Amino acid sequence: MKTLMTPHSTASSRSLAARRPIAITLLGLALSSATVTLLSGCAPLIVGGAALGGALVATDRRSTGVQLDDQALEVRAGNRIREVAADRARVSVNAYNRTLLLTGEVHKDADKAAVEAAVAKLEDVKVVSEITVDWPTSSDDRSRDLLLASKVKSAFVETKGLEANAFSIVAHRKVIYLMGRVTESEARDAAAVASTVQGVQKVVRVLEVITPEQLNAIRSR
Element (H, E) at 100: strand 99-106
β-bridge mates for residue 46, sequence order = 170
Asked if residue 38 has pLDDT above 70, the reply is: no
Element (H, E) at 87: none
pLDDT tens per residue, range 108-163: 999 999 999 999 999 999 999 999 999 999 999 999 999 999 999 999 999 999 99
Neighbours of 131 (CB within 10 A): 23
Which of 35-44, 91-100, 115-124, 181-190 shows the lowest mean pLDDT across its residues?
A: 35-44
pLDDT tens per residue, range 50-70: 333 334 466 899 999 999 999
Compute the distance between CA of residue 221 and CA of residue 217 in angstroms, rounded to an integer: 6
User: What is the phi/psi pair of residue 191, to 5°?
Assistant: -65, -40
pLDDT tens per residue, range 171-212: 999 999 999 999 999 999 999 999 999 999 999 999 999 999
pLDDT at 2: 55
pLDDT at 57: 61
Count of helix runs (H) and strand runs (E) in the chain: 6, 8
